[in-house]
Amino acid sequence: MLYLFFLFEHTLKGRSK
């Protein structure tokens, strides 16, 4: 489930940008 965490963080960063 680690990949899920990374994916979520990436999505958040993408939205923030």
* SS3 assignment for 1-17: CHHHHHHHHHHHHHHHC
Mean pLDDT of the chain: 88
pLDDT of amino acid 14: 85
Q: Dump pLDDT digits (tens) for 1-17.
A: 799 999 999 999 988 76
Tokens, residue 6: 């990374």
Q: What is the dihedral of CA 12, 9, 13, 15, to 10 degrees?
A: -20
